[in-house]
Amino acid sequence: MIGTGDRVLLVGEGREFFVKAGPGTLSTDKGQLDLASLIGASAGDVLTTHNGSKFAVRIPRPTDFFTYGKRSGAPMLPKDIGLVIAYTGMNHNDDVLDAGTGSGIAAIYFGGVAKSVKTYEVRPEFSALAQKNITDAKLGNVEAIAADFLAAEGLYDVVHLDMQIQPEHVTHAYSLLRSGGYLACYTPFLEQMAIVVDAASGLFCEVHPHELIEREMTRSKRGTRPSTSVCHSGYVTIARK
Amino acid sequence: MIGTGDRVLLVGEGREFFVKAGPGTLSTDKGQLDLASLIGASAGDVLTTHNGSKFAVRIPRPTDFFTYGKRSGAPMLPKDIGLVIAYTGMNHNDDVLDAGTGSGIAAIYFGGVAKSVKTYEVRPEFSALAQKNITDAKLGNVEAIAADFLAAEGLYDVVHLDMQIQPEHVTHAYSLLRSGGYLACYTPFLEQMAIVVDAASGLFCEVHPHELIEREMTRSKRGTRPSTSVCHSGYVTIARK
Amino acid sequence: MIGTGDRVLLVGEGREFFVKAGPGTLSTDKGQLDLASLIGASAGDVLTTHNGSKFAVRIPRPTDFFTYGKRSGAPMLPKDIGLVIAYTGMNHNDDVLDAGTGSGIAAIYFGGVAKSVKTYEVRPEFSALAQKNITDAKLGNVEAIAADFLAAEGLYDVVHLDMQIQPEHVTHAYSLLRSGGYLACYTPFLEQMAIVVDAASGLFCEVHPHELIEREMTRSKRGTRPSTSVCHSGYVTIARK
Amino acid sequence: MIGTGDRVLLVGEGREFFVKAGPGTLSTDKGQLDLASLIGASAGDVLTTHNGSKFAVRIPRPTDFFTYGKRSGAPMLPKDIGLVIAYTGMNHNDDVLDAGTGSGIAAIYFGGVAKSVKTYEVRPEFSALAQKNITDAKLGNVEAIAADFLAAEGLYDVVHLDMQIQPEHVTHAYSLLRSGGYLACYTPFLEQMAIVVDAASGLFCEVHPHELIEREMTRSKRGTRPSTSVCHSGYVTIARK
């Protein structure tokens, strides 16, 4: 049941609105809606604006936070987040350390999967913004920490790094991992991928750099073909301790 | 703490063994190990064979079940499973329906992420084999059901189909989804992808067929280049209700 | 030596102009140039505008006709034209039949390679425009014919089709080819590729549909990575008689 | 008309034989053929073995030299050769300098397109083997030179390099090119591509590194899909003077 301050997605009339339940009014070209009326509502309920337009209530999913969350820069793409989850086998038993929080989108995805997530970000204003997104996502198991990754302690099943990578980050990640745990490093550039591979080889028992090229297919009356916009965003190196 | 019948990964001396704790002996070229000695052990413990070789104890992760689980055919690749998890935003609040269980690998990945998973498989012998893998993975929230997907009832946040797809499967998936929930269809062939897209368009509010091309990069003294073996396995169509 | 009416590329001051030698004046923000002064000039000569800017004379290459030629629609991309040349082994001994002339760009590339090229285009206005481009390229061995490909006769080493393909086009191409000769069909959509493959299989001794994904790499101070705009344009099926 | 010593392709009975017209006998599981009987024959003629099997006579094309030519190492793939031809606009007016002859396959393709080709190879035994392939291809306009590329002189429309590249090779190529001419460098590794791009930028007026990923599509009763073997071979950088 939706409480005061909860994020809600209102969907209808070909539109979507990402709002907060509580005081205030949503004004749209399809009419106005009192946001306090969301309190106590549930997913699937339908609300009506003052002029009769109908909007369905949705509890936002991680995909919605990718679309509507506040951003401090270009976040990792879901395709690459999915690769990290799948290639590390991230699951509800895992303690995850994420560094280079950015907008917190990866941490939100991981928080929906893992037992606990600590996410380090050295820039306090980025960490604060990410904390807002995490709070909006109602993830009590995710903690945003405004500190350098090299200061992180503890033991983790998965360490995920999305930052200006240096060899000492790879070495520190190794020291934080349980036996059998995984390091996943996202690097936009080839030179950074090489730093990760060179630092991890010899230390970790398996090291695999990956590139994901994603294409959306298009299908019209004329036929089926790949979209001309193709999606490469970076390299993801997976290393197992 | 490891109990009788639990799956354990023993790693050491450049070898890995996927064993079951309890009566019996593991015989390797590095010596013998009494598997009953695993009972009561924990992840990270080190056991010694009769001739002094050392093996570390690991609790298997989903990635290990992809490698060592019993197979009834070619399973979906982790890269495609990751895309399903990321593009549906699958998380610990979700009820997931999976159909076309196969060896149960996708269900094991989903079971580590979601609140509950029901996985339908029309071939009883496949469903029974998948159930063994699921039991090995100690996932109490995953239920293997030997029945036709069209017989499935209930309400779900994500429906995932990996089967000989027909338009009625897409329509039935729609009826099983909560508002804002996602259908994800894996199809190896373009003609099947077209069936999904055509059946979902108009019914679902967003329909996006994707192709993932994954390349492993190789790095040696001679330099860095993509591996010549590139990995395409099929198309994943994501549709949102 | 450049004669009246010859196409010339003037390059300098960070600009390029595709002009015709003869009467007239080129007016640019870098000054004016009498185009009659090009007559008798040679590649590499440098001309000076009335206010002292310098432009080098170039004889246009096929790549320039791709950039500056008149267009009646989207032409085949050079990457796909190159694949046709390489996979058919097109060379100076070859008689080539091209159909679906379009703007004539493929015919201009082929004319620079083969002994003779006949290019069929059923729309007379397209054929006339292509003929202008071909004349500009000074290719005496290329003939633009405003007629249906099915009316073509003779014997050829290579038949290249870029048109709304039907099975009878594939069959007719077979009848026009010398033993050991090649059919190359460019098709933007998968459904058309399937028509070609199905019609050619059994008839031709080898049938190979190809897709070319081209990426430009980018390199800056930040590092090296693939461009995010990736180039797929269609499928090229190569069949050998 | 085929003369003594000419290369001939005999095709029939599901087999292909790459032979030399003149003294000798071809022995196959489909019978024997006197190779002197090829002298005076023409493309398309059909010869009969002593036991009645029929083989058609073909004059080999560049594609056949790629398949049957003698090799001193892995040659450039036709897809990349095609990209060089198309992106340089190579044509019958061009003087081409090729360096890193290898087996001479690229030089044979270029020789079928350009007015003249000089191909430099520093290893004399490689150059001699390439000369045999070139002679077999009856290309009087291609000259194999056993010398270092840095010793090359003259003026060319296209310079193509496939060798252990160093910045001085790029600089020397620039000095050998006519205005408007193209350098094309094939490099298997990213580090070599970076050397080319860095040396060419500032010197040439356009510099574009490309990667070609080629996929063969497969089509069976089960459906259409990309082949799992995908073809990347290296990077081709195109720079224009």
CA distance B85 to B106: 10
Under DSSP, is residue C103 helix (H, G, I), strand (E, B) or coil? coil
pLDDT, tens digit, for every residue of C135-179?
999 999 999 999 999 999 999 999 999 999 999 999 999 999 999
Answer yes or no: do D79 and C83 touch at CB < 8 A: yes
For chain A, percent of residues with pLDDT exceeding 70: 100
Q: What is the pLDDT along chain B (241 residues), one digit of tens a residue?
A: 899 999 999 998 889 999 999 999 999 998 999 999 999 999 889 999 988 999 999 999 999 999 999 999 888 999 999 999 999 999 999 999 999 999 999 999 999 999 999 999 999 999 999 999 999 999 999 999 999 999 999 999 999 999 999 999 999 999 999 999 999 999 999 999 999 999 999 899 999 999 999 999 999 999 999 987 778 889 999 999 9
Under DSSP, is residue D237 helix (H, G, I), strand (E, B) or coil? strand
Answer yes or no: do D58 and C217 touch at CB < 8 A: no
Under DSSP, is residue A241 helix (H, G, I), strand (E, B) or coil? coil
Task: Note whether C155 contacts A: Cβ–Cβ < 8 A.
Answer: no
List chain A residues with CB under 8 Å of C188. Answer: 223, 225
pLDDT at A1 over 90: no
Report yes or no: D201 and D207 within 8 Å, Cβ to Cβ.
yes
pLDDT at D136 over 90: yes
List chain D residues with CB under 8 Å of B191. Answer: 223-224
CA distance D210 to C219: 12
Report yes or no: C217 and D235 within 8 Å, Cβ to Cβ.
yes
CATH architecture observed for domain A7-58 = Roll (3.10)
List chain B residues with CB under 8 Å of D233. Answer: 228
Could you tell me if residue B28 is left (phi over 0), alpha (psi between -120 and 50 degrees) or otherwise beta? beta
Answer yes or no: do B214 and A216 touch at CB < 8 A: no
Give 3-state DSSP helix, strand, coil % of chain D, rounded to 5. 25, 40, 35
Task: Note whether B74 contacts D: Cβ–Cβ < 8 A.
Answer: no
**Min CA distance, B210 vs chain D (Å)?**
13
Buried b (16+ CB within 10 A) or exposed e, B85-120: bbbbbbbbebbbbbbbbbbbbbbbbbbbbbebbbbb
Q: How confident is the model at residue D14 (pLDDT cuts 50, 70, 90)?
A: confident
Answer yes or no: do D93 and C81 touch at CB < 8 A: no
Class at the top of the CATH hierarchy for domain D63-240:
alpha beta
Task: Note whether A15 contacts B: Cβ–Cβ < 8 A.
Answer: no
- What pLDDT is stored for residue A97 in this prediction? 98
Closest in B59, B109, B182 to A86, CB measured: B109
For chain D, percent of residues with pLDDT exceeding 70: 100
Residues C181, C183, C188: CA angle, nearest 5 degrees: 160
pLDDT, tens digit, for every residue of C11-54?
988 899 999 999 999 999 999 999 999 999 998 899 999 889 99
pLDDT, tens digit, for every residue of D98-118?
999 999 999 999 999 999 999
**Min CA distance, D129 vs chain C (Å)?**
21
**Min CA distance, C213 vs chain A (Å)?**
10
Cα separation values, B135 from B63, B132, B211, Å: 16, 5, 32
pLDDT, tens digit, for every residue of D197-239?
999 998 999 999 999 989 999 999 999 999 877 788 899 999 9
The predicted model scores a pTM of 0.93
Q: How confident is the model at residue D178 (pLDDT cuts 50, 70, 90)?
A: very high
pLDDT, tens digit, for every residue of A16-53?
999 999 999 999 998 999 999 999 999 889 999 988 99
ipTM over the 0.90 cut-off: yes
Task: Note whether D59 contacts C: Cβ–Cβ < 8 A.
Answer: yes
- What pLDDT is stored for residue B92 in this prediction? 98
Q: In chain C, where are the structural domains located?
A: 7-58, 63-240
List chain B residues with CB under 8 Å of A109. Answer: 86, 89, 91
- What pLDDT is stored for residue A229 in this prediction? 75
Closest in D191, D228, D229 to B223, CB measured: D191
pLDDT, tens digit, for every residue of B5-51?
999 999 988 899 999 999 999 999 989 999 999 999 998 899 999 88
Q: Which of B224, B230, B233, B235 is the mutation pick for testing D, counting most D CBs within 10 A? A: B230
Report yes or no: C66 and D41 within 8 Å, Cβ to Cβ.
no
- What pLDDT is stored for residue A64 in this prediction? 95
Q: What would the mean pLDDT of D142-162 be, rounded to a whole number?
A: 98
Closest in C89, C113, C217 to D61, CB measured: C89
pLDDT at A230 over 90: no
Answer yes or no: do B85 and A87 touch at CB < 8 A: no
Instruction: Give D 173-212 residues with CB within 8 A of chain C.
Output: 178-180, 182, 190, 193-194, 197-198, 208-212
Answer yes or no: do B228 and D228 touch at CB < 8 A: no
Report yes or no: A107 and A132 within 8 Å, Cβ to Cβ.
no
Q: Strand pairing of C223-231 and C206-220? A: antiparallel
pLDDT, tens digit, for every residue of A60-110?
999 999 999 999 888 899 999 999 999 999 999 999 999 999 999 999 999
Task: Enter the tokens of residue B167.
Answer: 């338009």
For chain D, percent of residues with pLDDT exceeding 90: 88
User: Measured in Å, how far apart are chain D's first and last C-alpha atoms?
Assistant: 42
Chain A: list its partners (3+ Cβ pairs within 8 Å). B, C
CB pairs under 8 A between C and D: 168
pLDDT, tens digit, for every residue of C91-134?
999 999 999 999 999 999 999 999 999 999 999 999 999 999 99
Per DSSP, the residues of D51-99 read TS-EEEEE---HHHHHHHS--SSPPPPHHHHHHHHHHHT--TT-EEEEE
Task: Note whether C231 contacts A: Cβ–Cβ < 8 A.
Answer: yes
Q: How confident is the model at residue C228 (pLDDT cuts 50, 70, 90)?
A: confident
- What pLDDT is stored for residue B33 in this prediction? 93
CA distance A202 to A183: 14
Answer yes or no: do D232 and B228 touch at CB < 8 A: yes
Task: Note whether D164 contacts B: Cβ–Cβ < 8 A.
Answer: no
Task: Note whether B215 contacts D: Cβ–Cβ < 8 A.
Answer: yes
Q: What would the mean pLDDT of D142-155 be, rounded to a whole number?
A: 98
Residues in contact with B172: Cβ distance below 8 Å, sequence separation at least 6, in sequence order: B149, B150, B152
Closest in B59, B92, B216 to A210, CB measured: B216
CA distance A137 to A98: 17
Chain B: list its partners (3+ Cβ pairs within 8 Å). A, D
CB pairs under 8 A between A and B: 168
Q: Which of A24, A17, A22 is nearest to A39 (CA)?
A: A22
Residues in contact with B48: Cβ distance below 8 Å, sequence separation at least 6, in sequence order: B54, B55
List chain C residues with CB under 8 Å of A188. Answer: 223, 225
Answer yes or no: do B192 and D234 touch at CB < 8 A: no
Task: Note whether B224 contacts D: Cβ–Cβ < 8 A.
Answer: yes
**Min CA distance, C234 vs chain A (Å)?**
8
Answer yes or no: do B225 and D231 touch at CB < 8 A: no
Report yes or no: A54 and A46 within 8 Å, Cβ to Cβ.
yes
pLDDT, tens digit, for every residue of A36-46?
999 999 988 99
Task: Enter the tokens of residue A159.
Answer: 């360490």
Task: Note whether B73 contacts A: Cβ–Cβ < 8 A.
Answer: no
Q: Which of A101, A136, A133, A137 is nearest to A119 (CA)?
A: A101
pLDDT, tens digit, for every residue of A150-194?
999 999 999 999 999 999 999 999 999 999 999 999 999 999 999
Judged on CB neighbours under 10 Å (0-12, 13-18, 19+), D68 is: middle
Task: Note whether A74 contacts C: Cβ–Cβ < 8 A.
Answer: no
